[in-house]
Structure 1
Amino acid sequence: MHKLVTLLFTLAVVFTSFGQDIDYKNPKEYEIGPVNVLGADNFDHTAIKLIAGLRQGDKITIPGDDISNAIKKLWNEGLFSNVEIVKEKVIGDVIYLSIILQPRAKLSRFKFNGVTKKEADKIREEIDLFSGKNITENLIFQTENKVEHFFKDKGYYLVKANIVRKVDTLMSNSEIFIINVDKGEKMKIAELNIVGVETVKEAKLRRAMKDTKQKAFWRFFKRSKFMDVAYKRDKLALTNKLQEEGLRDAEIVSDSVYIIDEKHLGVDIKIDEGEKYYFGNITWVGNAKYRTGYLDTVLGIKYGDVYNKTLLEQRLFQSMESRDITSLYMDRGHLFFQIIPIEKGVVDNHINYELRIIEGKEATIGDIFIKGNFKTNEHVIRRELRMKPGDLFNRNDIIRTQRELMQLGYFDQEKMDFIPIPNPQDGTVDIEVVVNEKSSDQIELSGGYGANTLILTAGLSFNNFSVQNFFDKSAWSPLPTGDGQRLSLRAQTNGMFYQAYSFSFTEPWLGGKKPNALSFWMNNNSYSLSGNLSRADKDYQGISITGLGVGLQRRKKIPDDYFTAYYELGYKYYDVRNYNLLAISNGYSNNIYAQYVLSRNSIDAPIYPRSGSRLTFTAKASLPYSMFDGVDDYSSYSQQDLVKFNEFYKLKMTGEWYLPLTTDKKLVLAPRFGIGFMGAYSQSKGLSPFDRFSLGGSGLTGGVNAQVNGTEIISLRGYGTTSTVVSSTIADPMIAKYSVELRYPISLNPSAMFWVYGFAEAGNTYTALDRFNPFNVKRSVGLGLNVNIPMIGMLGFSYGWGLDALDPHSDGYRKGNDILRANGQMPGVFQFTIGTNIGDL
C-alpha cells in the first residue's frame, strides 16, 4: 500500500512538471533529445536509461504511457525511494528530459536488543540481512516477522519485534537496524479442548496432535509450548485421525487460541464429525498369480470394518510389517506390479472398492553396482548380498541385505541406500548399492574408576583389517584395511597391583566362500595384593591367569537364517600364590573347556537398535575328570588336588528385544532378561572356585578382583562400584537378572552418536540351587547417557538408586546401609562403563 501511494504521488509530480507547454487535449509526438540523470552518482547512468527505455533519438508521445512506464520500470528495480522524470526544455520537436532519482538507503549493520548472544547468532541464520542490502518497507516487515516466528517456535507466543532505523554517520546514505525484541514469557498450553466428537475418545485425538500438548506434570519428552506452525500441522493430523476412525467427512469448523494469563494459553477446537463410514464389498480384478481368497486374507479388511483409508493404503502399498499386497508381489519378482484402488460407490455408509491389479512380468536381477566404498573392498560387501544376478527380484532380500551390511559396522546406517534401476525392455532390474563409509576402528586411551582404584586402559581395535595386504606398502594408509577382518590389542593397569593384556583376531569368512568366522584369542591377567607383580619375589601375593582359545562361528539356515552357532575350545592356567581370596591360596589350576553358543539375532543395527531381538543359549563345560579317575570320595584330597584340573558345566539363557514406540522409531523400549547356572559333575569334589557369577557395580573393571578371580562379571547399577557387592565374596553359581530401558537418541550422527535413557533392573545371585528364587531380586532405577565415538567406542554414564536391602551373604552387605536403603535414604551411585557388552549376561 505504501509503495502504491508513493508511485501515484510520483506520477502526479511528473504530470505537473510536464504541464507547461504541453497540450493534454492534443497529444504530440516528440523526439527524445539528450537525457540527463540526476541524484544517482553511484549508478551507471547508461544502464538507468536502458532500464527506463528512454534512448536519445527514440520517439515518444506526450501525453501518453511512455513516461509513466519508464517510471514504473525504474521503481520496480527496488533501488530508489523516489523517481521523477521532468521536462528540461523543448526545441522544435525535440524534448530534453531529466531523470531525478533518490537512491534507497543501504543497511550498514544491525544489532539486537533483548536477546542472548546465542539466540542472536541463531536468528542471523534465519534472516536475510547483510551490509549493503537495500532497505525497503518489505524488508523491515519480513525481518520483524522472521524474528517473531523464531521465538514463537520457542514458545514465546506474545513476542514482539520492532526495528528502529538509525542513520549511520560514518557511511553515506546508510542506516543501522536496531532490532528490539520483547520476548515476553514462555506460553504453555494450560487447556486443550476438543469438542463436537462423540464417537472417538478425546484422549485418542489428543495423542494424534504430536506437538500441541496440554501441560501435565508427567510429560517429559514433549513440552506443552505452543508453536503456530506445529499447531497447523497438528490440526491436519487431527483431521486425518478422525478419518482413520471412519469419519471421512469430519472437519474442523472453528478453532481459537486465547490467553488465560501471562504464562498460559488455551486452545479450543470445534469439530463437525459427520457420519461414520464402513468398508463395503471389496472385489479384485486382474489377479492371476494369487486367488482372491488369499488376497483377502493378506489385505485383512472385511465387510463392515470401520472405514480407514490410511489402513487400506498401508495394506495395499507398504506396511511396517511387510504385510501388504505390493510386498507380496514384489517379493516374488513382480517389480513392475501396480494396484489401483477404485471407489465404486457408497451404500448405507458402506464404501465399496474395486482393486485393479496389473501384475506385470517377473523381473530378474541384472547387474549390481556398489558405490561409496572407498575403504571396504567390494568383495566384502558382495558376500553379504542376499541377491545375485539372475535371481528373481525380491524386495525382502534387499531389506535383509541392508540389515547385514549394517551389522558390519562399517557404514552409516542413515545414509545407506538401495536404488533399483528397472529395464522394462528386457525384464531385468539393476541394483545400485550406495554406502557411506564411517570409521569403525577404535583407539582407546582412557581411565576408569572402580573398586576404589584407577584403571588405565590403552587399546587398538581394527574392525576392517586386511592381513592379505599386510606386506603391501601401498596399502598402509595408515593400516591395511578393507577385508573385514578384526584385530584387537588391549592393555590395562593400575600400576603394580593389576595388569592385563589381550590379543584377538577374527577372520569372518574363512576360505572366502561361506560366512564361517574363525577367531583366535589370548590374554593374561595378573593381580597382586602386595603391590609387586613379580612372581619371583618371595613376598609376592597374587594370582595370574593366562588363557588362549580358538572359535568358529557358522550361520545356520534352520530354523531360519537369523541363527548362528559358535563353537569354542579354550584353555586357562591359574597360578595362585599366597592369595587368600579363593578356596585355594597356593597352587595352580588347569581349565580346558568347550563352549557352544546358539544365537538368533534379528536386531536392525549394532549401535542403536530400533527393532528386532537377540536370543542366546550358552553351554560351557570342562572335561568330566571325576567320571574317569575312579574316585568316589574326595574328602581326603587337598584343595590343590581338587582344582588341579578344573571341572564344571555352565548353562545360560539371555534375551533382549527392541520395541519402537513412535512412528519414527526413535523412542525405543528395550526389555532384557538373563538366567545362569553353574554345576559340578561330582558332589563330593564340589563346585569349581572359578567361572562363577559376580553381580554388582558397572562391570567396568569387574572390580579388579572379579576379573583375576576368574568370575563372570554381571553389572547391576545402583548398588555400589564393586562387582561382588550383591554376590558373595567368592561369587555364586546361580544368577537371574531382568532389566528394561526406555531410550531416546539425541544424535544418530555416526561421528558422535549418543542417547539418553531411563532404566529399571533387578537381579540377584544364589549360593545354591535350593536357594534359587527368580523373584528374590535386588531392584534399582536410574537415568543414563550412552555415547558412541568411532575411534573410542561406547562410553556409558549412569546414576542409579538401589531399592532393596542386600542379603547377608552379599559381599557388600552392611546392616546400617540396608536400614538406610529400606527407609529410602540411601544415596544414588554414579557409574562409568566402556564398551557395549561389558556387564551383561
Structure 2
Amino acid sequence: MKYLIVLIVSIFLAHESFAQELDYENPKEYEIGPIRVNGADNFDHQAIKLIAGFRQGDKIVIPGEEMTKAIRNLWEEGLFSNVEIKLVKVVGNIAYISINLTPRPKLSRFKFDGASKKEADKIREQVKLFSGKNITESLIFNTRSKVVGFYREKGYYNVDVNIERVNDSLMNNSEIFIIHIDKKKKVKIGEINFYGVESVKEGKLRRKMKDTKEKAFWRFFKRSKFSESAYKRDKEAMMMEFQAIGLRDAEIVRDSVYLIDEKNLGIDIIIDEGEEYYFGDIEWVGNAKYRSGYLDTVLGIDKGDLYNKEMLEMRLFQSMDGRDITSLYMDRGHLFFQITPVETNVENNYIDYEMRIIEGKEARVKNIIIKGNQKTNEHVIRREIRTKPGDLFNRNDIIRTQRELAQLGYFDEQSFQINPIPNPADGTVDIEYIVQEKSSDQIELSGGYGAGRLIGTLGLTFNNFSIQNMFKKSAWQPLPAGDGQTLSLRAQTNGRFYQSYNFSFTEPWLGGRKPNAFSVWMNHSQFGNNFRRNDPDYSGVSITGVGVGLQRRKKIPDDFFSAYYELSYNYYDVTRYGQVFDFDDGYSNNIALKYVLSRNSIDAPIYPRSGSKISFTAKATLPYSYFDGVSDYDAVDEQIRNKYAEYYKLKFTGEWYLPLTPDKKLVLMPKVGFGFMGAYSAEKGITPFERYYLGGNALTGVARLDGRELISLRGYEEQEVSSNLGDPIITRYTLELRYPISLNPSATFFVLAFAEAGNTYTNFQTFNPFNVKRSLGGGVRVFLPMFGMLGFDYGWGFDPLDPHSKGFGSGNDASRIGGTPVGAFQFIIGANLGDL
C-alpha cells in the first residue's frame, strides 16, 4: 500500500508538471524530442530510457497512458525511491522530456550485535544479504522477520530485533546494517487448551502434536519450546484424528498463541468438529486383471464404515503390511499402475467413490545397476538382490532386497536409494541400487589390571574380507576386502597364568551359487598357577577346540528360515586343578553335533524396528554310557566318568520388534527364552560342561573354560542367580522399550528401559516358569563400527534368591529379603546378552 501511494503521488506530480501547458480535456500527440535523465549518474541512461519506453522520434500522446506506464516501469525495477517525469518544454510539435530519479541506497555490509558466531553464521544463510543489494522497506521487514523467526524456532519467543541503518562514509549512497538482537529468556509452552472437542480425547490430540508439548518435569527427550513450523505441522497431524473417525469437515476455527508470563506461552485451539461422514458405494473402473469383488476385499472398506481419509489412502497406495491396491498390482509387474479415487456423490453424509484404474502393461526387469560400492565387490551385492533380469517387476522383491543388503552390515541403512527407471517404449524397467559403504571391521585393544596382574587383549574382526585376494599385492589397501567373508583373530594373555587364542573364518556363499555359509574355527586357552607345565608344582587347565559349521537358507515355510549344522570338538586337559571340574586330574573329550532352526525377519541388524528372530536349538553328544561298558559309575573314578562328555540340550528363543509410533522410532522388544539340558544316564548324571549360568551382563556369552552359557539378568551380580556349578534348566523373559537418539552409521546411539525376569533350576522337580527373579532398569547403547556395540545398564533386582543360588544369603540378597531392591551397574559389549 505504501508503494502504491508513492506511485500515485509520483504520477500526480508528473501530471502537475504539465499543468500549466497541457489541456487535459484535449490530449495532443507530440513527437518525443531530446530526453534528459537526472539523478542517476551510476546508471546507464540509455537503459533507463528503454525501461521507460521512450525513444527520441517516437510519437506520444500527452497526457496519456504512456506517461503513466513509463513511471510504473521505472518504479517496478526497485532501484529508485522516487520517480518523476516532467515535460520541460514544447517547441512546435516536439516535446522535451526530463526523467528525474532518486536512487535507493545500497547495502555495503551488515553485522550482528547480540548473536553468537554460530548463530550469526546460520542467520546469514537465511537472510541472504550481500553487498550492493538495494535497500527497500521490504528488505528491512523481511530481514527482521527472518531473524525473529530464527530465534523463535529456538524457543526465544520474546526476542527483540532492531535494524540500525548507518551511512557508510566509504561508499557513496550506501548504508551499513547493524542488526541488534536481544534474545531475552527462553519461553516454554505452559499450557495447551482445546475448545469444542467432544469426539476425541484431548490426550490423543496432545500425543499427535509431536513437537508442540506442554512443559512437564518428566519430559526429557522433547523440549516444550514453541516452533511456528512445528506447530503448523502438528496442527495438521492433530486434525487427522478427526478425519479418522468420520469428521472430515472438522476444522480449526481459530487458534492463538499468547504470553502467560515472561517464561510461559499459552496456546488456545478452537475446533468445530462438524458432522460424521461415512463411506458410501465404491465402484471400480478400468480393472481388467482383478474382479471388483476381489478389489473390495483387499481394500477392506464397506459401505457404512466411518469415513477415514488416511486409511483410504493407505489401503490404496501403501500400507505397512503390504495390504493395498497399489502393492497388489506392482507385486505382479504393473509398474505403470495408477489409481485415482474420485468422489462422485455426497448425500446424507455418505460419500460415494469411483476408483479409476489404469493398470498399464506388465513390466519386466531389464538391467540391474549398482552404484556406490567402492569396497564391496559387485557379485557380493548382486547375489543378495531378489530382482533378476527377465523377471516381472515386483515391489515386494525390492523391499526384501533392501532388507538383505542391510543385513550384510556393509552399508549405511539410512542412505539406501532404489530407483526404478522405466522404459515405456519396450515395457521394461531398469532398477538402480545406490549404496553407501560404511566401516564394518572391528578392533579390540585393551589392557586391564585384576587379581594383582596385568592382562592385555588384542582382537581383530574383518567382516568384509577377501581370502582369494590375499596373495595379490594390489589388494592390500590396507587389507584384501570385498568378498563378504569374515575373519576373526583374538589373543588375550597376562603371561603364563592365562593365555587364550581364537581364530575363525566364515565364507557366506560356499561355492558361490547358494547362500550356504561355511564356518571353521579353532581356539586354545590355558590358565594355571604361573609354573611351567613340566614343573611338578604346576596346576591348571588347557582347553583346545575346533569346529566346523554350515548354515543353509530354506524356502519352506518361507525364505526367512535357515538351518545351521555344527560339529565341534573340545579337549580338556586338567592337571591338579579341582576348582571348576568334578575331577582334579585327567582329560575329557566333548564331541557334539548342533542343529539350529531359525527364522530372522528383522529389518536392520543395529537398530531393528520391525520383524522377529526365533530359533530352536538342539545340541547333543553320543550316548557313550550306552556302550562304554561301565555298569556302576559310583564305583569308578571321575576321570573315567568324564572321559567323554555326555549330554543333550534343547533351547528356544524368540524376540519381536514392534514399532509404537508412525516413524518407527519408538520400538518395543519382547523376548523369551527357555533352555534345558539332559543326561542319557541318570547314574552318570549331568555333565559339568555346557551348563547355564544366570546373572549380570554375560559379557562373553559362552565361556571357553567349560563351554558354560552365560546368560544376563540385569540388576543382579555376575552368575549369582545360578548355582556354583551351573544349572541344567533356565527361563528368561525380557521387555525392552527403545528410542534412538542418533541413527548416524558412524555412531548409532539409543536409550532403553527394560523389565526382566529369569531363573535357573536344578531339576524338573524344582522347575517353575513363574518362579523368577525380577528387575527393572534403563541403559544406553552406542554402536561404533570399529568397536561394535557398547553400552551401560543400571538395574534394580527385586526378588531374593533361591537356596541353590550362588548369591543366596549374600549382603545384596539380605537386602532383597528385607524388601529393599538392590541396584547393579553393568557394562555391555555386544548386541546379545547371552544367547537366550
SS of the residue corresponding to residue 155 of structure 2 reads coil
Would you say 1:698 and 2:697 are equivalent positions?
Answer: yes
Q: How does 1:299-310 map to 2 (within 5 A)?
A: 299-310=299-310
Aligned pair partner of 2:722 in 710, 721, 727: 727
The aligned counterpart of 2:379 is: 379
Q: Distance in 1 between matches of 2:534 and 2:167?
A: 87
Q: Is the CA contact (8 Å cut-off) linking 1:164 and 1:178 kept in structure 2?
A: yes
C-alpha separation in 2, matches of 1:427 and 1:602 = 33
Q: Is residue 376–residue 484 contact of structure 1 (8 Å, CA) maintained in 2?
A: yes
Pair 1:714-2:715 in alignment: no
Q: In the TM superposition, what is the alpha-carbon distance from 1:679 to its structure 2 partner? A: 1.8
Q: 1:96 to 1:693 in 2, by over 3 A?
A: same
Aligned-partner residue type, residue 558 of structure 1 = I
Question: Does the aligned pair in 1 maintain the 2:165–2:175 contact within 8 Å?
Answer: no
1:33 and 1:275 map into 2 onto residues whose CA distance is: 69
Which one-letter code corresponds to 1:177 in the other structure?
Answer: I
Corresponding residue for residue 670 of structure 1:
669
Q: Would the alpha carbon gap of residues 403 and 98 (structure 1) be closer, same or farther in structure 2, given more than 3 Å must change?
A: closer
Deviation digits for residues 687-707 of structure 1 (CA, Å, limit 9, x no counterpart): 2222112222223357x9x54
Show the 5 A alignment for 1:555-574: 555-574=553-572
Q: 1:791 aligns with which of 786, 799, 802?
A: 786
Q: Does the 8 A contact of 2:518 with 2:550 survive in 1?
A: yes
The change in CA–CA distance for 1:345 and 1:480 in structure 2 (over 3 A counts) is: same
How has the CA–CA distance of structure 1 residues 134 and 35 changed in structure 2, closer, same or farther, with 3 Å as cutoff? closer
* 1:505 CA drift (Å): 1.0
Aligned to 2:438: 438
Deviations 1:552-573 (A, max 9, x none): 0011111111110000001112
Counterpart CA distance in 2 for 1:55 and 1:346 is: 59
* Paired amino acid for 2:507: E
CA distance in 2, matches of 1:573, 1:273: 76
SS at match of 1:511: coil
More divergent stretch after superposition (131-140 vs 600-609): 131-140
Q: Which residue of 1 aligns with 2:183?
A: 182
CA distance in 2, matches of 1:726, 1:556: 38
Query: Gaps (5+ residues) in structure 1?
Result: none
Change (3 A) 1:174 1:577: farther
Residues in 1 aligned to 2:626 and 2:802: alpha-carbon distance in whole angstroms: 35
Whether the aligned pair in 1 keeps the contact of 2:657 and 2:668 (CA below 8 Å) is yes
Instruction: Choose 818-827 or 426-435, whichever is displaced more.
Output: 818-827
Counterpart contact for 1:87–1:98, Cα < 8 Å: no
Partner letter of residue 711 of structure 1?
R
Q: Quote how far apart the aligned CAs of 1:761 are.
A: 1.6
Alignment of 1:89-168 (within 5 A): 104-113=105-114, 119-129=119-129, 135-166=135-166
Residue 778 (structure 1) aligned with residue 776 (structure 2): no
Question: Relative to structure 1, is the Cα distance of residues 565 and 99 closer, same or farther in structure 2, using a 3 angstrom cutoff?
Answer: same
Rounded to whole Å, the distance in 2 between the matches of 1:533 and 1:426 is 79
Distance, in Å, in 2 between the alignment partners of 1:826 and 1:452 is 32
What is aligned with 1:500? 500
Q: Between 540-549 and 94-103, report the one with greater CA deviation.
A: 94-103
1:47–1:375 Cα change, 3 Å: farther
Deviation string 1:16-44 (CA, Å, 9 cap, x unpaired) is 9x789x84558975643786767x6xx56
Displacement, 1:376? 2.1
CA 1:7/1:392 → structure 2, altered by over 3 Å: closer, same or farther?
A: closer
Task: Report if the CA contact (8 A) 1:502-1:524 is conserved.
Answer: yes
Greater shift in the superposed pair: 661-670 or 197-206: 197-206
The aligned runs of 1:69-468 (5 Å cut-off) are: 78=78, 104-113=105-114, 119-129=119-129, 135-166=135-166, 173-195=174-196, 197-216=197-216, 219-446=219-446, 456-468=456-468
Partner SS for 2:805: coil
Amino acid at match of 2:830: G
- Matched-pair contact (CA < 8 Å) for 2:163–2:177: no
Root-mean-square deviation (CA, aligned residues, Å) is 3.7
CA deviation profile, 1:72-116 (whole Å, cap 9, x unmatched): 666655566667889999999897979775662534341232x55
AA paired with 2:744? N
Match of 1:32 in 2: 34
Residue equivalent to 1:684: 683
Describe the SS at the equivalent of 2:467. Answer: coil
Shift of 1:609: 0.9
Contact kept? 2:52, 2:74, Cα under 8 Å: no
| Alignment partner of 1:535 is 2:543 | no
- Tell me, which stretches of 5 or more residues in structure 2 are unaligned? none
Contact 1:448–1:700 under 8 Å retained in 2: no
Secondary structure of residue in 2 paired with 1:384 = coil
- 1:245 deviates by 0.9
337 and 49 in structure 1: CA distance in 2 versus 1, 3 angstrom threshold:
closer
Per the alignment, do residues 140 and 584 of structure 1 end up closer, same or farther by CA in structure 2, a change over 3 Å counting?
farther
The residue identity in structure 2 corresponding to 1:317 is F
Aligned partner of 1:802 in structure 2 is 797
Aligned residues: 828
Which deviates further from its counterpart, 163-172 or 256-265? 163-172
Structure 1 residue 628 displacement after superposition: 0.9
Most deviating of 616-625 and 253-262: 253-262
Distance 1:36 1:302, change over 3 A: closer
Superposed CA deviations along residues 714-773 of structure 1, whole A, max 9, x for unmatched, are 2222224xx323323322222211112211122222222222222222222223332222
Secondary structure of 1:738's match? strand
Task: Write the distance in 1 (CA, Å) between the matches of 2:818 and 2:34.
Answer: 101
Q: Cα 1:708–1:136, aligned 2, differ >3 Å: closer, same or farther?
A: farther
d(CA) in 2 for partners of 1:56 and 1:345? 61
Aligned 8 A contact 2:689 2:707 in 1: yes
Letter matched to residue 188 of structure 1: I
Q: What is the aligned-residue identity percentage?
A: 62
The alpha carbon displacement at 1:164 in A equals: 3.4
2:91 & 2:677 partners in 1: Cα distance?
A: 118
Distance 1:496 1:123 in 2: 64
Could you tell me how far 1:610 is from its partner in structure 2? 0.8
The answer on whether the counterparts of 1:550 and 1:568 sit within 8 Å (CA) in structure 2 is yes
More moved, 606-615 vs 117-126 = 117-126
Do the aligned partners of 1:33 and 1:96 also contact (CA within 8 Å) in 2?
Answer: yes
